[in-house]
Amino acid sequence: MTTENRHLEAYIREQGLAEQMIPVVGSLYRDRGVIVTVFGRKLMNGSTIDILKSHKLSNQVVGQNITVEDTAPILAAIEAIRPGSSRIDIGKLAHKALQAEIPVDSPDKLSEFLQNEFSNIPDSISVMDEPRDVVLYGFGRIGRILARLLIERTTSANPLRLRAIVVRGGRDGDLQKRASLLRRDSVHGPFNGDIVVDEDNSAIIANGNLIKVIYANQPEDINYTDYDIHNALVVDNTGVFKDEEALGRHLVPNGASKVLLTAPASGNIKNIVYGVNDHMILDDDLIVCAASCTTNAITPVLKVINDKFNIVNGHVETVHAFTNDQNLIDNYHKADRRGRSAPLNMVLTSTGAAKAVAKALPELAGKLTGNAIRVPTPNVSMAVCNLNLGINTTRDELNTYMRDIAFNSNLSQQINYSFSREVVSSDFVGTPEPAIFDSVATLVEDDRCVLYVWYDNEFGYSTQVLRVMQHMVGLHIQNVPG
């Protein structure tokens, strides 16, 4: 057999195994609330190629080549065990089994190994007794991505149910236009599923989810119970209401019980960066803020750098995609420089992200400054962190530390790690982690370093918002292996 044929036959064999995994992954999520991953990459709704590509991370993550021939038996055994709601990394489990010399072709020994790994997972398919209603107040960039995420995750095991969106009163055809914007996106591509407009009930039906479209100019104008919505988590993604008094208006209507803001808050509202200070969310917190996209990108990275190297001070410069707050062509804007054409200019402006870090990490208060440059790209931004450290280090030491954090810590859902010398901003569209550490670009000189952190300021941020939503309603999913 020629080398060419060997490679092709191996690929076809692995492709066949990956195809067999797809319905099992779907069934485990739909019926048991089990999220299957391979080295942190979710397989749910993925293709055969997605599954094969996920396994390519194995050498970087665990230093060993793990293929679908190793993980397919693990997945089959999990299907037989039918554990409760959890997030299970079959790549890491396969590596752990190989290290323990557990033969994957021995169902009994493999089952015993997995039963031990699953000992702390509840048997129930959901960690909550009943679904929780969600209302999106506003339906802009973040609102529509949140809608996609909520709809994609709708199962008997997922308690969050998107019940309504609230927008200002529109003209004829408004409902069709709202549905069209959900169906098609110039940056994130088409909606993965089916969307039907129900004009009679003023609703959008997306993948079987009936979502009421409520027209209101003020929060107080709504009675959610009129729409059979109760105990709802209202997610304000308008950015109009920012302090406790203004956001408290969302709690006036019957049927609303908690509020989450998807923008920086003012006053004493808790600014949460999930993975860093989500432990601050208490059951009786009625109003919580998910901070900004930039704060969610830089805070996890700054936390782990400070934990090991002690940040003395630093400056964070964000190279940020333009937003709909800017003008398409030159026009009046209340802020300096932002009135100039967004697609034609780099626009130097301010950012509160560096100071906002201190709300999640008080130990960095007064140590960071920040500015922003808006650039002519619609999505994916970069933070350049120029830091003075308390100890000397090297580029290799710092990068190795960040790689371990990204793949083997409780911040693996917040920090991604890039090895490539060829990636550019568009390669990170749709990245679920709010921060992507560019290891190739790292600069270190004794006690000084410059770190480059990419982030999808729309999708990556929205996944963080979703995690805060889950925490606020009491949904906590265990990771296996722990």
- Active-site residues, by number, are 293
For 344, list phi and psi in degrees, rounded to 5.
Answer: -115, -5
Residue 375 in tokens: 């650039």
Among 224, 268, 278, 230, which residue's Cα sits nearest to residue 247?
A: 268
Among 245, 239, 384, 252, which residue's Cα sits nearest to residue 315?
A: 384
Residue 482 in tokens: 């722990």
Q: Is 288 helix (H, G, I), strand (E, B) or coil?
A: strand
For 398, the enclosing helix (H) or strand (E) is helix 395-408
- Describe the strand order of the beta sheet including 479-480 as a list of residue ranges: 41-42, 34-38, 86-89, 479-480
Q: What's the rounded Cα separation, in Å, for the pair 438 and 52?
A: 23
CA distances from 220 to 225, 247, 375 (A): 13, 11, 38
Residue 30 in tokens: 């739909």
Among 476, 467, 475, 479, which residue's Cα sits nearest to residue 149?
A: 467
Helices (H), 200-313: 244-247, 293-309
* Most distant CA atoms of the chain, gap in Å: 74
Burial class (CB in 10 A: 0-12, 13-18, 19+), 207: middle
Task: Give me the residues paired with residue 342 across strands.
Answer: none
Task: Look at the chain and count its residues.
Answer: 482
For 14, the enclosing helix (H) or strand (E) is helix 3-32
Residue 27 in tokens: 């069934």
Residue 256 in tokens: 């609303």
